[in-house]
Structure formats: C-alpha cells, structure tokens
Chain A
Amino acid sequence: MISDRQLPAADRRVQLMATCLCDAFYDDVARATVEVLEHLGCIVEFPEAQTCCGQPAFNGGDWKASRKVVRHTVKTFTGDVPVIVPSGSCAAMVFHGAPLEFEKEDDAPAVDALARRTWELADFIVNGLGVKTWPGKFDAKIAFHRSCHSRGSGTSEAAISLLESIDGVTVAPFGEAEQCCGFGGTFSVSFPHISANMGTLKLDNVRAVEPDYLVSADMSCLMHMGGLAEKAGAPLKTRHFAQILRDALNPATAG
C-alpha cells in the first residue's frame, strides 16, 4: 500500500477516473461524483482516453493483459493532480494492484507515481481535503456495505462519517459486516454458485435492518447484490454514496 500519498494542491484541480462500470452502466454515479467534487470547489478534468484500470485481468490472473491496460491508464492520466475514483476497488487496483504486478517491470516508477496520487472519493474528501461533515438533508435509513477492496484504507470510515453527518440520515449497522458480498470480479462468473450464496447471505443481513437504501463505495458490489435481489423478485434500492451526497444538496430533485 502506498503511504506517501500526494495531497491536493490549493487550486483543487483533480482528474476523474470514472471507472468502466460507470462508463457502461452507472453514468449517474459519475455525474454525482463530478457534482460532489465541484461542490467542494474542485476543478474536475476528465481525460477522454480513459478506459479501465486493468483490474479484471489482474484478478483473473492474466497479468500480461492487465499490464497492457495499466500502461494505457498511466499514459492517459498524465500530470501531477490527484486522480479521484468513485470506487474503492478500482482505486486499490491503481495504488496497490498495479504496483504489485509491475514490481519487476522497467516502467514501475511511472506506475508508482500514479499510485501515489490516486484516491478513492470518500477517502479524498475526508482525509485529503479535510472535509468532515456534509450539508443538506436526506431522510433515509442506510445500510452501508464496506466493500472489501477498501479494507486497510480510509474509505469506509470516511464514507460512513460523511453519511452520518447528513441531516436525516441514519446508518444502520448490520451483521457479518466483514463478509464479502460475493462479487469478486471474474470470481462472480467462474464461481457462480458460491458467489450467489455469499450474496444471499449478505442480503439477508442487510434486509434484517430494513434499510431504505443499500449504499456502498463500489458499484460492482451493488451491481451484484442489486442484481441478485431483483432476480429473486425482491428488489432493493442501491445507491453509490456520492449519489446520496449529491441528492442531500438538492432535496427537491432527489430520487
């Protein structure tokens, strides 16, 4: 894990790494991320050539393929401003996974440099910008899923403390919070049986506290859990925490 992370400069310029999932499915999460960052006075750049962080192949075991994508990502995010990712998993790929698979590569220093300036969104807001509370209003009971790739980072505590500071929000703790939801990238399709069982156990724990929303810092977990709930005929409302922050600012238009 990278320890000497680069803090934001006074002008609050940042680059957004939207993630492939938001690019393909969850455009509103990427929008919410931009709006939340702009509310904090950040100037958000979106490098157009971005694709994916390289994690699917990294986790799938094809490091050769993954390095190709990481090299493209390193080339795309040039400069020295913080790179903000609305995903604990993709952020961890950039600051932990990529340095691991580049240990013996000549271009490891460039990968490490990107790693040092990459932040997951909640971690950036609370621990990078020093913002501890969030204004506005949002009436909801929230179950917050701590995505696994945020372990050992500031993400989950940061997201929960921001959510709890919003007027009207209750964050309800649920059982077996340390357990994975069963997504796990390629794991979800090569271990479909175990993956679905894990997801069902997680959903049982979540439903036990009767939340209005299941919230996380990772859309991948939510895609899996939301998809399971819907397929089982008992849909559950899922939201990225950035959407809650954004909606708290605009209670009139919140959905």
Chain B
Amino acid sequence: MANQPIDAYAASLPPDKRESVYQSTKGTHEKRTKLLWDHFLDPNELRQTAGRIKQHVIENLDTLLPAAEAKLQANGVQVHWAPTAEDACAAVHGIMDARGATKLVKSKTMVSEEIELTPYLEKRGMEALETDLGEFIIQIDHDHPSHIVRPIIHKNRREIATSFEREGLGDYNDEPEVITRRARDFLRQKYLQADVGLTGGNFISAESGRLVLVTNEGNSRFCLAAPKVHIALVGIEKLVPRDRDLGLLLNLLGRSATAQQLTVYTEFITGPKSPTQPDGPEEMHVIFVDNGRTEVLASQCREILRCIRCGACLNVCPIYRQASGHAYRSVYPGPVGAVLSPLLAGKQFPELADLPKASSLCGACNEVCPVDIPIPDLLLRLRDKGKTEGAPKASIGVPPMGGWALMASQPTAWKAALAGGKVINHIPTKLIPFPPLQSWTSSRTLPEWRGGSFRKWMKNRPSK
C-alpha cells in the first residue's frame, strides 16, 4: 500500500535537514510557551479573546472593509480591490507602469508568494527584489519558502555561503555575521535605486486606516524610506475593528511567532508623507486581495481566516517537524496550510486534498494558536469533503471503512469478528491480504488478539 505523499516526502528528507527543522521549531515553540506563561496569568484566555476579535472581523467584513477603505482614502491612500491573484499582480504592474517605474524592493509578504508576483513582474521586464534576508536567499536560489515566518528553515549556513559565493557576493564564508553584512551591503544600493517599495500588511485598523507592519530586520523601513511609491498587498481578512485591538494581537503575534515580546520593528503607517515630512513615499497604495478568501468565508472552514500568520502551529506540529514545509506543495505549509491551501486552491482542491490527512489530529496546533482556530475540526471537515468529492489523493494508504461500518453497526457480526480475529495470532501478518496490517507491522508488533475475552468475564463473574 502506498504511503501518503507527505509521508513519502518526509522519508526522502535528508536526516540533517530534518534535524535542523526539528531543533529550530522545537526551540522556538518552547521559548514561546515559557514567555507566554511567564508574562501572562492566563495566556489561553488571551488567545480566546483574540480569536473572538478576529472571528468578529471575518463575520463583519461587509461593513469593516468599506469602513477601512474610507479611512484609508481620507488618509491619502489609494485603495485597490483584487478579486484574483492575476488582478493583484496587474494592479501592482499598473501602478508601476503609470509612473514609469521598473525597480521594486519587497519586504517579506506571503501574499506576494501566493499571487506569484515576482515572476509576473519579471516577465514584463521589471525587477522585484526580496530584502528580507531569508527571502533574499530563497530568491537567489530560485527556491520556495518552507515556513511562514522563517522561509529558509530548511537551509544551513554552509548552503547559504555557497549561494553567496556563486552570486558573486564574496568568497566562501559561512559566518552568519559575514553573510548578513554582505547581504546588507548589496541591498543598501538596491533600496536607493528602487522606484517602489512593496510590503504586506499584518493588520489594518478599520477605525483609523492605520496599516501595521511587523518585521525584525528593519528592511521594511528601508523599503519605505527611499522609494517614492509604497504598495501594500493585504489579504481582505487582515482587518482589526479598532486600534486598541492591536495591543492584544501584537502582544500575541510576537510571542507566538518568534518568542519575542514585540518584534524589533512595529510600524504604524497612516498614509503617504505629508508635505512637511522630509522623507517617505509620495504615493501609497493598498491592494486588498481576495484570491479565494470569499469562498473560504462561505465554506465550513471560515475560522481559518482568523489566522495572523505567526507560524506557531508549524513549530509545534510533529508532522511539520518531520516533513518540513516543501512537503505541503503550497505557499502555506503546516497545519494552517493543510486547511488554507486546499481551500484557496478552489477548483484544484483535489490536487491538495491529501494535505488535511497530514495530521495525527493531536490538537497541538489549536492549543498554541494565538487566535484559537480549531484546526483539527477544520482538517476533519476537509477530510469529509475529500471523501464526498472523491478526491483520490485523500484516500492513498487510508483503509477503506465501508465493511468496518457494516460490521460495527451489527452486534452479531461484531461478535463473530471478535471471535474470528484470533486467527491473526496464528497466521503471519504478511499472509493476511489487508495492506494496513503490513503497514502497522512494518515498525510495530501487534498485541495478542483476545477478542471477546472481556465479554466472557463480564458475563460469567458472580453477580455483585
């Protein structure tokens, strides 16, 4: 019997890669947990409150989005609506085209990965350069991020040093300080030459129109310092109702994502530069990206839109720790990705229908989620969807359940099976034509079959 694709991928992962992903996610998870419990009396209460705020957002997008748009416009921001990935890319391209811009510097944004912005712009003769160190390394390696927050969690410093040498950024040197300095020297020039700075958006307040960005390297500030145009790509679910909600969400985001009390840079951006300010973008654009989110909202799994992209569920997930991010064949890996990616795939759902199977349903993801998304319940709903829609990928290696259900709903058949099962004590499992049994016994022994023994004891003992 074939294994699930993610299991096969994990089996092919070199042990040193798995070990570095494991140690790094474990370390962050443990620090995250300690920090939350050291600082707060009851972090779970906070997670639940944050979950209610974000649930309120996704259930009131019809009023919060127009409110945010009005505030943004009043702040001098141009607002664009992108129903699809193609629309979002075209909007960026259109803004650049209108100003004769050809060079764009990017701060880290998962939405730009999702809409595949860089290849879109490159095809049209424009340059889009990643300035987050991890994303920069991904870009020069023509690779893909394997973690939402730490895109190069799958790489070690020797590989990075080799890439830098290949790209002419200096002789081989794998000292992290040297790597960072070389990247900085290279990128500084690029900020100065760029026409446009592109960022994502962690939150937008519907109350004030403030765009909130959190980063740790300061590159987003450089992206906004020199270029004359700032474009922010923001998923439509990224709103908060009021500025005061940010206090809670930012406290949870930094701790959940990187075990920091607060990220090093937290920027609140209220629009383009005012006439009295010496520096900053003259134009600011917010592109609200739907790209399937409305369908997710209409599905049975809308809670996934609460996600604030902290990556805590990846770090704690035993499957992610074994398989790493590329196993999920999509922009969003790990437990959140196993829900979000198949949903965002729309008609291509069957292609990713195995992702919701990549979980032991242990619930650790729900336990760490800063917005308390019931991820296991959503995975289960998508498993049902995969089955009812007949997606073949979802059923690879999964024992068929029809015969079992018949037996388990007829007591006579059940008792007969309990008695008959004793045969496995005497026949080598290899000879029993039931592939899940071979899969089980490949690494584990089977206990002795004692079918019906308890019933016999219960029936025959002296009455109390």
Q: Which residues of A contact B (CB under 8 A)?
A: 18, 20, 22-27, 30-31, 34, 38, 43, 46, 48-52, 54, 56-66, 68-69, 71-72, 76, 97, 100-101, 148-149, 151-152, 176, 178-180, 182-199, 201, 223-224, 226-228, 230-231
Complex Cα gap A61–B418 (Å): 25
- 24 A-B pairs with C-beta separation under 8 A: A23-B451, A24-B418, A30-B454, A46-B458, A51-B408, A56-B404, A57-B405, A60-B398, A61-B386, A62-B401, A66-B405, A68-B405, A68-B409, A71-B409, A148-B363, A148-B364, A180-B362, A185-B361, A190-B397, A192-B442, A198-B318, A227-B444, A227-B445, A228-B444
User: A188-B440, A191-B4 in contact; A61/B447 too (CB < 8 A)?
Assistant: no
Contact among A26, A38, A72, A179 for B318, CB-based, below 8 A = A179
- For A51, the chain B residues whose CB sits under 8 A away are 407-409, 411, 414
User: A27-B454, A188-B440 in contact; A151/B363 too (CB < 8 A)?
Assistant: yes
User: A68-B409, A101-B384, A193-B11 in contact; A179/B364 too (CB < 8 A)?
Assistant: yes
Would you call B401 and A24 a contact (CB within 8 A)? Answer: no
- For A62, the chain B residues whose CB sits under 8 A away are 384, 387, 401-402, 405
Q: Which chain A residue lies CB-closest to B396?
A: A190
Q: Which chain B residue lies CB-closest to A179?
A: B318
Which residues of chain B from 201 to 256 have a CB within 8 Å of any chain A CB? Answer: none
A246: shortest Cβ distance to chain B, in Å?
Answer: 13
Complex Cα gap A30–B445 (Å): 21
Would you call A23 and B452 a contact (CB within 8 A)? Answer: yes
Q: Which residues of B contact A (CB under 8 A)?
A: 1, 3-4, 6-8, 10-11, 26, 316, 318-319, 322-323, 356-364, 366-367, 377, 380-381, 383-384, 386-388, 394-399, 401-402, 404-411, 414, 418, 421, 436, 439-455, 457-458, 464
Given contacts A26-B447, A97-B380, A189-B397, 12 further A-B contacts (CB under 8 A): A30-B454, A46-B455, A49-B411, A51-B414, A56-B399, A61-B386, A100-B381, A148-B364, A186-B398, A193-B7, A199-B443, A223-B447
> What is the count of residue pairs linking A and B with beta-carbon distances less than 8 angstroms?
221
Interface class of chain B by DSSP = helix
Would you call B360 and A180 a contact (CB within 8 A)? Answer: yes
Would you call A61 and B383 a contact (CB within 8 A)? Answer: yes
- For A149, the chain B residues whose CB sits under 8 A away are 361, 363
- For B440, the chain A residues whose CB sits under 8 A away are 188-189, 192, 227
- For B418, the chain A residues whose CB sits under 8 A away are 23-24
- For B447, the chain A residues whose CB sits under 8 A away are 25-26, 223, 226-227
B458: shortest Cβ distance to chain A, in Å?
Answer: 5
- For A22, the chain B residues whose CB sits under 8 A away are 454
